[in-house]
Chains A and B, each alone.
Chain A
Amino acid sequence: MFKEFMDPKFFIEELEDVNRKLVKGAEILTTIPDVEVEPTPKELVFEEDKLKLYHYLPGDTLSCPTPILICYALVNRQYMMDLQSDRSLIRNLLGQGLDIYIIDWGYPDHGDRYVTMEDYIDVYLDDCVDFVRERTGCDRINLLGVCQGGTFAVIYAALHAEKIRNLVTMVAPVDFHTTDGLLNVWSQHMNIDNMVDTMGIIPGEFMNVGFLMLKPFQLMVDKYVGLMDNLDDPATVANFVRMEKWIFDSPAQAGEAYRQFLKDLYQDNKLVKNELEIGGRRVDLKKIDMPLLNIYATEDHLVPPASSIPMNDLVGSEDKTLYSFPGGHIGIYVSSRSQKELAPTVSKWLIERCPVGRDGKQVCAAPAAGKTAAPERKPARKTAATKAKKPAAPKKKAAKKPAASKKKTARKKPGG
């Protein structure tokens, strides 16, 4: 028996509560200003075709002069990393003293249908890496790849290992032949050639239908019912609308790049087989010899853990860390737990591997035997090493060189 029928008082209170929220919600929804995203200040430093490279204005102190370049996915927009001021991985990383660059891939249109994975990885990403290297004077930079951007980062690191000091991947798929993810299952029966030949570019709306189908009731029904419960709270409504904007702000996918990504990776799983070729060069994951921090989300329904975890066994790095974040694919950036845990973990891991010169100062590159350290880069602001006070920067040890004694895999347990 239903409680509402048994207890009229309860029923009336429920009814009154719903009505009150509806009225208040209507007022909020009709007066809410346009939601703003990407609140953290940044400057445009490089452009190429539709790509834009931004540099976040760093804090007063840099914990490590080696900059970090964030390579986001082609699917959806990179501002998920900086959705709002109190839910911003970028802001948190800046607060930890990192120097951050981020790639905005833009919105491909029909003119981009012939852009390939080689273009994205070997041209655009490579140009960004070179630009940051040149701008900062660092021969090797840190690369952080997110989701599909993580796969790109892994491929890039295998092809250009000499340019990357540390590799960080977040919810990045590498092994695509898992049945844990519906996208992995469905993609096996898709006629990708027909799709690309017909549409040229794959519309974001088309992709979104697939994403919504992954959790149909939760994403298409319950999410909105849940909003009803908080419709009288302006902050919650604004957060909801902001997230809604991000979800449906979906760029199209350049046809040829999509074709190779789906056929070579999702269908043929060539990356783990060491059969993938980019621009005629085979991508050998064993050539990834720099330190690796591989972060996956335990509840990820888009990139299941089984797709990310094997990376650590496939790369040639001796210094590799597997980090398990208890949450989902989006929660890893916006959850309150993420705000407390993720940025400190990433920055700590990077700072621990930040090279230190002979004089004890942090430098871009580790000094080679018999040589002096690379010239100290000239950041816009002083680095932690040059400041008298170093409140945020942890004390540096000697430059981390992948040592045999380093634990091969330090797996963090959920909640740990």
Chain B
Amino acid sequence: MQDNAAPWESMWKTWQDMQMDMYKSWMSAWFRAAAGDSKVEEDTSDKAWTDALGFYRQWLGYLQEMMDRFGMPSEGVGPDTFMRMFQTADVYSQLYAMWMKMYENYRKVVGEGGEYDFAAMSEMLESWADEYREIVDKIFIPALPSQLQWIAELYSGDIPLMAGGLLMHLGAPWYDYFRRMTERGLSLERPSPEAAVEMYEGWRQAYEESYGRLLRAPVMGYYREAAEKLSHTMDSLNEFNIILAEFYASLQSAGVKGFEKLQERMAAMQDEGSKEPISFRELYRLWWQTNEDIYIELFRTEEFSRLLGQLVDKGMQFRADFKAYVEEATKELPFPNRSEMDHLYKTVDRLKREVRSLKKEMGKLEPAAGGKEK
């Protein structure tokens, strides 16, 4: 009779050891994670994510070791199978680590000088791309059938570097903009109209240097014309918004000035020794009349007049561009657009003038003709 109990006793013993080791590892990992003492990613300073990642990878390693202890006799489901499983899981962790490292470096490069350092960023990007290529070479390519390995090689060349560079160029102006706005916001003692103008101007600059470039890139294909007109519309909307911000800023300045003037007037009333208290109604009257004076003083200035002219002009430009876009986008629809109607109106106008002129001529001819008959 064959003794079948031996393997099972061995497995049981292994299971018990595993449980104990797992408990020890679990506790050890938790303590280290809690103490921020992970050795997994020594180069990083971001404990929050490296500790979590270290913990995960350590736990993954432990599981693999544990499963290796099982001496399953059956072909295909023994340690080799488990090894592949855990390697696959590790791919994700390595990818995760790579991206997080890139993010961390990105933050460092930007944050150190307070400026967006393109040189440092490019250097970092190249280093990241090397790492990316290494991962692809080591992990993805061997995992693919030989016939398909060329696909992965595509993505281990310059493509990631180029794509990453493009994304950084798109993101950099916005990062810079938000950093400046944050600093500005913290340093302001009180909101000012100039800050609003600066904020919008910064926004526009960031847009111009990032997505504006994308929108202005030559468009091809069926929607080329519409896309180009949309791009013009976006540009003119931006131009309009800048002037609008300036316009509101000038109104806001007058508002602040009006409030100060009101305070001065009230102080003057007190200095005059007026014992008589004023009512809310009197205060209101003083308020609106003071403000009216200040605003009209502003409206009379050459500067405001010029600004108003620019505001209307930019608004008209946006309206014209938007109309052009709408007409382009709806040209296939079964109704006439504004330009077509204008053409028709022009024709009707010309015809009306002709009719009027002919009637006038006839009016002159009628008496003459009547005279002859008589």
State the A residues within 8 Å of B (CB). Answer: 1-7, 10, 14, 49, 110-111, 113-115, 123, 179, 182, 185-186, 188-191, 194-195, 197-200, 213-218, 221-222, 225
Contact of A216 among B295, B342, B348 (CB under 8 A): B295
A113, A189, A190: the one contacting B345 at CB < 8 Å is: A113
Please tell me if B207 contacts chain A, counting CB pairs below 8 Å: no
Stretch of B33-41, B108-116, B192-200, B306-314 contacting A (4+ beta carbons < 8 Å): B306-314
Of B69-77, B238-246, B283-291, which stretch is located at the interface?
B283-291
Q: In which size bucket is the chain B interface?
A: 35 or more
With the chains together, A357 CA to B282 CA distance in Å? 62
Q: Is the CB of A2 within 8 A of B292?
A: no
What's the least CB distance linking A116 to chain B, in Å?
A: 9
A111: chain B residues at CB < 8 Å are: 345, 348
Quick check: A2 and B349 within 8 Å, CB to CB?
no
> Is the pair B356, A2 in contact by a Cβ cutoff of 8 Å?
no
Chain B contact surface mostly = helix
Interface check B320, CB cutoff 8 A: yes
- Shortest beta-carbon distance from A243 to chain B in Å: 19
Partner of A218, one of B288, B299, B312, B356: B288
Chain A CB within 8 A of B6 CB: no
Q: Are A2 and B279 in contact (CB under 8 A)?
A: yes
A234 to chain B, nearest CB (A): 23
Could you name 6 residue pairs across A and B whose Cβ atoms are closer than 8 Å? A115-B349, A182-B296, A188-B309, A189-B306, A218-B292, A221-B288
Q: How far is the CB of A170 from chain B (nearest CB, A)?
A: 25
Which B residues from 325 to 343 make CB contacts under 8 A with A?
A: 338, 341-342
Assess A2 versus B316: contact at CB under 8 Å? Given A114-B346, A191-B309.
Answer: no
Tell me the nearest residue of chain A to B251, going by C-beta: A216
Give the residues in chain B near A2, CB-CB below 8 Å.
277-280, 283
A215 to B295, CA, bound (A): 9
- A188/B280 in contact, CB under 8 A: no
Contacts of A198 in B (CB 8 A): 316-317, 319-320, 323
A6 CB contacts on chain B under 8 angstroms: 277
A221 surroundings in chain B (CB, below 8 A): 288
A110 and B349 alpha carbons, distance in the complex (Å): 11
- Across the interface, do A195 and B312 meet the contact criterion of CB distance under 8 Å? yes
In the complex, whether B364 has a CB less than 8 A from a CB of chain A is no
Q: Is the CB of B309 within 8 A of A190?
A: yes
Partner of B313, one of A49, A182, A188, A194: A194
**Chain A residues whose C-beta falls within 8 Å of the C-beta of B338 in the assembled complex:** 110, 200
Inter-chain CA distance A49–B288, complex, in Å, is 45
* Residues B341 and A110 in contact, CB atoms below 8 Å apart: yes
Question: How close is B274's CB to chain A, nearest CB, in angstroms?
Answer: 10
Given contacts A6-B277, A189-B305, A194-B317, whether A217 and B291 have CB atoms under 8 Å apart is: yes
Q: Find out whether the CB atom of B345 lies under 8 angstroms from the CB atom of A114.
A: yes
Set of chain A residues within 8 Å of B320, measured between Cβ atoms: 194, 197-198
Residues on B with C-beta less than 8 A from A197 are 320
Kindly list the 10 A-B residue pairs having the minimum CB-CB distance in the complex, ordered from nearest.
A189-B309, A114-B349, A3-B279, A217-B292, A217-B288, A198-B316, A3-B277, A191-B313, A198-B320, A1-B277
Q: Determine the distance from Cα of A14 to Cα of B280 in the docked complex, in whole angstroms.
A: 10
Candidates B281, B291, B300, B349; contact of A179 at CB < 8 Å:
B300
Q: Is the CB of B288 within 8 A of A222?
A: yes
New contact pairs (18) apart from A1-B277, A217-B292, CB-CB < 8 Å: A6-B277, A110-B341, A111-B345, A114-B346, A186-B309, A189-B305, A189-B308, A189-B310, A190-B313, A194-B317, A195-B312, A200-B338, A200-B342, A213-B299, A216-B295, A218-B288, A221-B288, A222-B288
Closest chain A residue to B282, Cβ basis: A3
User: Given the complex, which residues of B lie within 8 Å of A4, measured CB to CB?
Assistant: 279-280
Is the CB–CB distance between A182 and B342 below 8 Å?
Answer: no
Complex formed: what's the CA distance from A10 to B356 in Å? 71
Contact of A185 with B292 in the complex, beta carbons under 8 Å: no
Contacts of A114 in B (CB 8 A): 345-346, 349
How long is the Cα–Cα vector from A59 to B106 in the complex, in angstroms? 89
Residues from chain B with Cβ under 8 Å of A190 in the complex: 308-309, 312-313
Chain A residue at minimum C-beta to C-beta distance from B288? A217
Instruction: Write out the residue numbers on chain A whose beta carbons fall within 8 Å of the beta carbon of B313.
Output: 190-191, 194-195
Contacts of A185 in B (CB 8 A): 299-300, 305
Query: Does A3 lie within 8 Å of B296, measured CB to CB?
Result: no
Partner of A195, one of B278, B310, B316, B341: B316
Residue of B295, B316, B341, B356 with most chain A CB atoms under a 10 A cut-off: B316
Residue ID in chain B nearest A6 by CB atoms: B277
Minimal Cβ-Cβ distance residue in A for B319: A198
CB distance from A256 to the nearest CB of B (A): 9
Instruction: Say how far B255's CB is from chain A's closest CB, in angstroms.
Output: 11
Shortest CB-to-CB span from A298 to chain B, Å, is: 17
* Minimum CB–CB distance for B202 against chain A, Å: 27
CB distance from B327 to the nearest CB of A (A): 13
A110 partner residues in chain B, CB cutoff 8 A: 338, 341-342, 345
